[in-house]
Amino acid sequence: MKNISLIFNAVLLVAVIVLFVLVCRLNKIHSVDGEMYGPDSTLSVQLPVAYVNVDSLLLNYQFAIESNEILMKKQEDSRLDLNVKARQLQNEMAEFQRKLENNAFLSRERAEQEQERLMRKEQDLQQLNNKLSQELIDLQQKVSEQLRDSINSYLTEYNKVKKFELIFSNTSNDNLLISSQRYNITKEVTDALNSRYGKKK
């Protein structure tokens, strides 16, 4: 029993010595701006992570810029179309009201027919508004998916060479509060995406 206790104490002593040596070595390594330096200032380690500032990417990626222009034009055209039809309907309703007040309809049935026609026209306008709104939502979703696919597809290829463990998406500094610029690959990715997009056109 005494021998086992001596062996156990010897093993513990060796373990403590090994830990002491490791701690002394680690204390000699220091960090400056995310890089690790040893006593001779030659050891440098960069974490295998990167991030893309999505706001900046979308502002500078030609495909995103053109897609946004298409969405805005579609929205403006839809609004113009609706406004023209709404103004026409408003004018017809005002005319109907004038005729009604001046007893200009030949019969009550004729006035009711005109009122029903205007009500159907108002319903049609509401349906058109709903249809155009849904088309805009669908187009926006389609464009978002195309952008996401384009970016993810490129990043998959890009990372075959770079071999990052993680690539973060940073939007309006929500995901990364503090970060070193050397982990920011936004410009590199944006330039490559624009180059690929230019070749497709």
Long-range contacts of 126-132 (CB under 8 A, 24+ apart): 128/81, 128/82, 128/85, 129/82, 132/78, 132/81, 132/82
Q: What pLDDT is recorded for position 201?
A: 65
Q: What pLDDT is recorded for position 189?
A: 95
Q: What pLDDT is recorded for position 36?
A: 47
With 0-12 / 13-18 / 19 or more C-beta atoms within 10 angstroms meaning exposed / middle / buried, residue 123 is exposed
Which of 49, 70, 83, 32 shows the shortest CA–CA distance to 165? 49
Q: Where are the alpha helices (DSSP H) in 32-61?
A: 54-60
pLDDT in tens, the chain (201 residues): 445 555 545 444 444 454 444 445 545 544 444 444 444 555 556 788 999 999 999 999 999 999 999 999 999 999 999 999 999 999 999 998 998 888 888 888 998 899 999 999 999 999 999 999 999 999 999 999 999 999 999 999 999 999 999 999 888 777 788 888 888 999 999 999 999 988 876
Q: What pLDDT is recorded for position 19?
A: 46
| Cα gap 145→185, rounded to integer Å | 22
CA 186 to chain centre: 14
Break the chain into its structural domains and give their ranges.
Answer: 2-37, 49-200
Which DSSP category does 182 fall into? G
Helix-helix angle 186-200:62-101, to 10 degrees:
70
Q: What pLDDT is recorded for position 178?
A: 83
| Cα gap 176→60, rounded to integer Å | 20
Q: What pLDDT is recorded for position 154?
A: 95
Q: Give the CB-side neighbour count of residue 158, counting CA atoms within 13 A.
A: 22
Q: What pLDDT is recorded for position 156?
A: 95
Q: What pLDDT is recorded for position 34?
A: 44
Q: What pLDDT is recorded for position 199?
A: 82
Q: What pLDDT is recorded for position 5?
A: 54
| Cα gap 201→188, rounded to integer Å | 20
